[in-house]
Amino acid sequence: MKIGILTYYGVHNHGAVLQANALKSVLQKMGHEVSFVSFERNYDYVLAGKAKKYQISLGSIPYYIGFLKEKGIGNVLYNVKKSQILKEFREANFSMVPYSEFNGDVTVVGSDEVFSVEIGYNAVMYGYGIKSNRLVSYAASFGPSTTEDIKQKERTEDIQKGLAQFNAISVRDRNSQNVVRDLSDKKVPLVIDPVLLYGYPEEQQQYIPNEKGYIAVYAYDSRMNDPEEVDAIKAYAKEKGLKVYSIGFYHKWADRNINVSPLQLLGWIKNAAFVITDTFHGSVISIICNSKLVVKVRESNRNKLTSLLGEFDLSDRTIESFSEIDDVVQKEINFDHVNQLLAQKQKDSLKYLTNAIEGKDE
């Protein structure tokens, strides 16, 4: 079949690129012809001048220049280089077709926060104007957006009508499942993120860093900069004789800030002494790489992170304070158990995706 993927392929982080590439790879392994459907993203609810923050292109450079004094030249140069690395990866791996021109057999919406209205409402993600024969979602997420948030932004009717157009809907977290149930009469199974579904087993082995003895920090530039958090991480690293490497994001306080391709990121995570993250995909990548992880859950991602960690019996990997790092690190992870759970979830999620595309569940 000819399949188009609708997702936020241009987000300025490796997790977003890896999830898009993973879904493409799974569909290609199933024998389908796959393209990404390009569109102009809407930023209804972002303050004027801030939208460039969410775009990964040369057009984002003025945004970074705008906070040069606040963030520093190192941050700006790092992100310009990172933008180019991610752009080159997409150009090498993503076949694009404009939204107005795609008329294939199936459109798959997802994964990631494609249903979120936090930044802006994007009608394309709800099937408006889709020309394909079938419309399904895979591991879609509302992110931090709740039914009440949608109501406050006066998008309830738009989203209700949009959800009604789907032939099949799946989501990746409990909050999203609840929102779909509130706004539609659709069955809405939980499935795993494409990165978990694909697993990148061969790609994990392709890049092995020359260095050992480091803590891999995977956190957005704007987070994990609080002096109390930074001091706790650095003190723990010094006590254990470890370096702190920020992988994929810039943190001035880290021993090294390492710019990597999406696939190289897997190698850095896999070979770390352990991972400190406060992101969904930082946790996902640690799971597939069987890397020991410490997770700081923040209010902005509590919905999806607690759902993810709970599904893999990893709820005890979270910290409220960074003074708890050692308590979590000392707890061993039964990765045999985690991998058994993952294998079953891969089987169930692949079954959903196959049936949704072929219309077998209707």
Per-residue pLDDT tens digits for 8-38: 988 889 999 999 999 999 999 999 999 999 9
Q: What is the mean pLDDT of the chain?
A: 91
82 vs 110, more confident: 82
Asked if residue 111 has a cis previous peptide bond (ω within 30° of 0), the answer is yes
Please give the Cα distance from 188 to 181 (Å, whole number). Answer: 7
Q: Is 20 helix (H, G, I), strand (E, B) or coil?
A: helix
Domain ranges in the chain are 2-198+344-358, 203-331
Sheet strands (E) in the chain: 2-6, 33-38, 96-98, 106-109, 134-137, 214-218, 243-247, 256-258, 274-277, 293-296, 318-319
* Confidence (pLDDT) at 49: 47
Per-residue pLDDT at 131 exceeds 90: no
* Confidence (pLDDT) at 302: 83
* Confidence (pLDDT) at 58: 52
Confidence at 48, pLDDT banded by 50, 70, 90: very low
Per-residue pLDDT tens digits for 52-105: 544 445 555 565 556 566 667 888 899 999 999 999 999 999 999 998 889 899
* Confidence (pLDDT) at 86: 95
The domains spanning 2-198+344-358 and 203-331 adopt the same CATH topology = yes
pTM of the full predicted structure? 0.90
Which of 1, 27, 3 lies closest to 349 in space, CA to CA? 27
Per-residue pLDDT at 47 exceeds 60: no
Per-residue pLDDT at 273 exceeds 60: yes
Per-residue pLDDT tens digits for 293-343: 999 998 878 878 888 999 999 999 999 999 999 999 999 999 999 999 999
Confidence at 279, pLDDT banded by 50, 70, 90: very high
Please give the Cα distance from 275 to 182 (Å, whole number). Answer: 36
- Least confident piece of the model among 35-39, 170-174, 249-253, 304-308: 304-308
Sequence-ordered list of residues with C-beta below 8 angstroms from that of 80, at least 6 positions apart, any chain: 61, 64
Q: Is 45 helix (H, G, I), strand (E, B) or coil?
A: coil
Which of 316, 334, 337, 345 lies closest to 199 in space, CA to CA? 345
Please give the Cα distance from 220 to 53 (Å, whole number). Answer: 12
- Least confident piece of the model among 24-33, 129-138, 280-289: 129-138
Q: Domain 2-198+344-358 carries which CATH code? A: 3.40.50
Q: Which fold has domain 203-331?
A: Rossmann fold (3.40.50)
Backbone angles phi, psi at 134, to 5 degrees: -130, 150
Contact call for residues 17 and 122 (beta carbons, < 8 A): no
Tokens of 274: 């352990």
* Confidence (pLDDT) at 68: 62
